[in-house]
Structure 1
Amino acid sequence: MRDLGDIRVEIDQVDKEILNLFNKRMELACQVAEYKIATGKKVYDKEREDAKLEKLSSYVDDDFSEQAVKELYTQIMSISRKKQFAILQERGVSFDTGFTQVDNFDFSDAIVCFQGVQGAYSQLAMLAFFDDEMKDSFHVDLWRDAMEAISTGKADYAVLPIENSLAGSIEENFDLLSEYNVAIIGEQILKVDHALLGVKGATINDIKTVYSHPKAIAQCENYIRKYHIDWDVKNLRNTAMSAQKIQDDGDKTQAAIGSKYNAVLYNLDILEESIQDDKNNETRFIIVSKDKKYKKSADKISLCLEISHEPGSLYRILSNLIFNGINMNRIESRPIKGVNWQYRFFIDIDGNLNDEAVRNALTGLKEECVSIRVLGNY
């Protein structure tokens, strides 16, 4: 048996030889980049890479080594592409995001819409984000109506919930972001504090039917199951609409789950406060516009990607973030309509569209994705 120290010395020597060859390969990759810049050819050549992997793996004679060779050279070619993308970026060949940088936003003439009736959490998020800067606001029935309002120019901005810390994502709004050509220009985190609201003089013992938005009901599921399993729980479009219904019906056996603000707005009694299961419950709202602008101080980027439906494609795409040192803090998948079992990815990353690392990563993503869209930098 050979001495371990002797073996390691030999491994170190082999590693040096590998590194020398790797450096030579990267020099050749730079020459390839210069050629592709001059000729306008794309960096990512899938057919060439697939053929190369098949040829290299044919040089070994067992299944383990074949897979190992494919993994190794998939990484090497991925690194090579990242180097070429960086060179393209240096030469001014980059992905045009369509966004314009501004120092700040002027909301003094802004008209803002939100989904739901007066008192909806979307309205509270709107008031928190815009404060007193906006000119006017109005509400719409559906989230799609809000998208239509900014697309047609009836509103300058719309406020939409996108995810809740307890109940998860608002899937419909992710689909709407992919459907409408709009931009996210900001976000507002709103603490969700649900109360049980009834008509004046009602008590909890009177209640038989409770109305609210499905997500709000989900956020109070443990409370309902533990204390009031006999309630008939029904869905409505939003919490404020539920409170409005309780006021309109005037029925002591009905209650709504909504914010305490709705009790004042619709002249209701608060039968119980803070009934949400998670007392740290928060909802993230996005502010969208048809104008693609971002502030110089923006530090979060939202992307929408479609990638090829094949093994390793998501890993290959995300490597553009890894090699550029970019942190991904969220990923969400949604089915692509009309194509069974294929998905669109929504990704949030840290950074600004003016950052060199971000520009490098976007250049690579543009080449390697089936499609990519920057949803916003905020």
Structure 2
Amino acid sequence: MATLEELRVQLDGIDNEIARLFEERMKVCGEVGEYKIQSGKKVLDRQRENNKLADVASKVHGEFNKKGIQELYTQLMSMSRKLQYQKLVEAGALGRLPFIAIESLEKEKARVVFQGVEGAYGQAAMFNYFGESCNGFHVHTFRDAMEAIEEGSADYAVLPIENSSAGAVNEMYDLLDEFENYIVAETIIPITHTLAGIPGTKLEEVKCVYSKAEALMQTTHFLDEHADWQRISVVNTAVAAAKVAAEQNKEQAAVCSAYAAKLQGLEILADNINDEKNNSTRFVIVTNQKVYLKDANKISISFELPHESGSLYRILSHFIYNDLNMTKIESRPIEGRNWEYRFFVDFEGNMEQPAVKNALRGLREETRNLNILGNY
């Protein structure tokens, strides 16, 4: 029997030959890419790839080797496509992305909308990004805000998309897919919830607590200490404060910000009741214009995939190959198609960067309904 060192020498020899053949294969793949540039053919030929996988599997023995060689060739063909996408981009075949780079947003002249009422965290986010003297107004729902910028009654909307403890705001992902509006910036604000009630109210008098569903989730530990309290969801924390103030009932309280409580003349019954003391919410600044700031460094996209094994794995390889750091992935059900999902991905980059262009070219060919939601 050969020694371990002798076996390793054999493997090194085989690996050297594999490396040589890999370079030879990629050279031919590059020529294939040149041909496709000239002929206008698509890079991805799924039927050709399926035939190749079946062919190479027929040339080896045993189920382990058959599965292994198909996985190997799946990667080889993926690398071939990425090389061809790179050549297409270098040849200008990506086409101009329909986004215009701008130096800055016109904050002073902008009309800005947020969801909720005076005192909402959305208002705080608006002030944080646009300044407290901005020309802002509020609407009842997220949809109302998206419609306001779509129809032009507002230039920008400030809307929550993610909380550090409660996670994604699912409705916002659905609306970003539905409306042709685009993210141009983001701002993150700390979220500190209080329990507020009519002045003079004692905790033992409270029977019902109002707030936004996410705020009730973010204060579960405190609320669970009062198991007899009924929890009722409303559209916004500030709306909850306004309701309690309007009804003047000591049996009611609101989970809201201290600012909302002050605006409504409520008394803080318990302060800083968050489960997570470092709680914060990421808000996105949305507009109906396809623009991005020149110094933008994050891109949000959405896409659909074939409902088959390995489809997401293959798509994520475009970020790895182009050295792009993916910072977030979410999925949402596709309406009318049970158990199929639309994916939302955030990754670092700017649309002017070659690596981003390469990745977008590959994603455009290998996904369904790719949408660039913004570069910010």
Q: Taking structure 2 as the reference length, what is the TM-score of the superposition? A: 0.98
1:167 shift after superposition: 1.1
1:108 shift after superposition: 2.1
Deviations 1:79-116 (A, max 9, x none): 11111111111111115431111121112221111111
- Describe the SS at the equivalent of 2:158: strand
Are the aligned partners of 1:99 and 1:292 in contact in 2 as well (CA < 8 Å)? yes
Residue identity matched to 1:218: M
Deviations 1:307-359 (A, max 9, x none): 11111111111111111011101000001101111100000001111111111
**Counterpart selection for 1:335 from 328, 333, 336:** 333
Mapping 1:294-373, distance limit 5 Å:
294-373=292-371
Residue identity matched to 1:209: C
Distance 1:208 1:342 in 2: 42
Equivalent in the alignment of 1:93: 93
Deviations 1:121-151 (A, max 9, x none): 11111110111473x1111111111111011
Segments of 4+ in structure 1 off by > 3 A? none
Distance 1:41 1:108 in 2: 48
Residue identity matched to 1:141: H
Equivalent in the alignment of 1:286: 284
Residue identity matched to 1:313: S
1:371 shift after superposition: 1.9
Mapping 1:270-285, distance limit 5 Å:
270-285=268-283
Equivalent in the alignment of 2:15: 15
- Describe the SS at the equivalent of 1:303: strand
Equivalent in the alignment of 1:247: 245
- Describe the SS at the equivalent of 2:244: helix
- Describe the SS at the equivalent of 2:303: strand
Are the aligned partners of 1:95 and 1:359 in contact in 2 as well (CA < 8 Å)? no
Residue identity matched to 2:291: K
- Is residue 32 of structure 1 aligned with residue 32 of structure 2? yes
Equivalent in the alignment of 1:256: 254
Mapping 1:75-154, distance limit 5 Å:
75-94=75-94, 96-132=96-132, 134=134, 136-154=135-153
Are the aligned partners of 1:187 and 1:287 in contact in 2 as well (CA < 8 Å)? yes
Are the aligned partners of 2:108 and 2:130 in contact in 1 as well (CA < 8 Å)? no
- Describe the SS at the equivalent of 2:101: strand
**Counterpart selection for 1:237 from 214, 235, 238:** 235
Distance 1:325 1:88 in 2: 19
Equivalent in the alignment of 1:208: 207
Are the aligned partners of 2:53 and 2:70 in contact in 1 as well (CA < 8 Å)? yes
Residue identity matched to 1:69: I
- Describe the SS at the equivalent of 2:356: helix
Equivalent in the alignment of 2:63: 63
Q: Taking structure 1 as the reference length, what is the TM-score of the superposition? A: 0.98
Equivalent in the alignment of 1:199: 198
Distance 1:273 1:97 in 2: 48
Residue identity matched to 2:238: A
Are the aligned partners of 1:125 and 1:188 in contact in 2 as well (CA < 8 Å)? yes
**Identity over aligned pairs, percent:** 48
Residue identity matched to 1:348: D
CA RMSD of aligned residues (A): 1.0
1:370 shift after superposition: 1.4
Equivalent in the alignment of 1:46: 46
Instruction: Choose 198-207 or 208-217, whichever is displaced more.
Output: 198-207
Distance 2:223 2:97 in 1: 47
Are the aligned partners of 1:95 and 1:366 in contact in 2 as well (CA < 8 Å)? no
Distance 1:199 1:95 in 2: 60
- Describe the SS at the equivalent of 2:292: strand
Distance 1:133 1:103 in 2: 22
Distance 2:95 2:161 in 1: 27
Distance 1:53 1:13 in 2: 26
Mapping 1:221-232, distance limit 5 Å:
221-225=220-224, 227-232=225-230
User: Gaps (5+ residues) in structure 1?
Assistant: none
Distance 1:61 1:25 in 2: 23
Residue identity matched to 1:332: E
Distance 1:98 1:205 in 2: 59
Residue identity matched to 1:127: F
Distance 1:375 1:28 in 2: 36
Distance 1:32 1:239 in 2: 58
1:61 shift after superposition: 2.5
Q: How many residues align?
A: 376
